Amino acid sequence: MVDTEELTQVESQEEVNAVEEQVEEIAEPTPEEKAKLEELESQKTVLNSDAEKHKQKRDELNAQTKEWKAKRDTLNAQVRELVEEAGKARETRDQYNQKVRDAKVVRDEWNTKVSEIRAKINELRPEKAEKVEGEQSLGQMKKELERLESLQQTTVLSSDKEKALVKSISELAKNIREKEKTEEGDEAVKDLVAQLREAKAKAEDAHKAVAECAEQAQSAHDNMLGLYQKADAIRKEADAAQAKFVECKQAADEEHRLHIEQIKSVHEISKSADGIKNKKTAAKKKRADAASKQEAKEIFDKFKAGEKLSTEDLMLLQKSGYL
pLDDT digits (tens, 9 = 90+) for 254-282: 999 999 998 898 888 888 777 777 765 65
SS (H, E, C) 185-221: CCHHHHHHHHHHHHHHHHHHHHHHHHHHHHHHHHHHH
Q: Are 196 and 76 in contact (CB under 8 A)?
A: no
Q: What is the mean pLDDT of the chain?
A: 79
**Nearest alpha carbon to residue 322 among 309, 119, 116:** 309
> Mean pLDDT over residues 112-119, rounded?
91
* pLDDT higher than threshold 50 for residue 20: no
Q: What is the pLDDT of residue 283?
A: 58
Using one digit for the tens of pLDDT, what is the confidence trace for 55-68? 999 999 999 999 99
Closest CA to 61 of 259, 250, 253, 248: 248
CA distances (Å), origin 307, targets 175, 300, 302 = 160, 10, 5
State mean pLDDT over 133-148: 75
Q: Is the pTM of this model over 0.75?
A: no
Buried/exposed 236-268: b ≥16 CB within 10 Å, e otherwise: ebbeebbebbeebbebbeebbebbeebbebbee
Q: Which range, of 116-125, 148-157, 230-239, averages the lowest pLDDT?
A: 148-157
- Portion of the chain with pLDDT greater than 70, in percent: 73
- pLDDT band per the 50, 70, 90 thresholds, residue 287: low
Residue 322 per-residue DSSP state: -
What pLDDT, on the 0 to 100 scale, is given for residue 139? 77
Determine contact, residues 78/241, Cβ cutoff 8 Å: no
112 HSE (CA, 13 A, CB side): 6
Q: Is residue 294 within 8 Å of residue 12, measured between CB atoms?
A: yes
Please say whether the dihedral angle defined by the alpha carbons of residues 229, 231, 234 and 238, taken in this order, is positive or negative.
negative
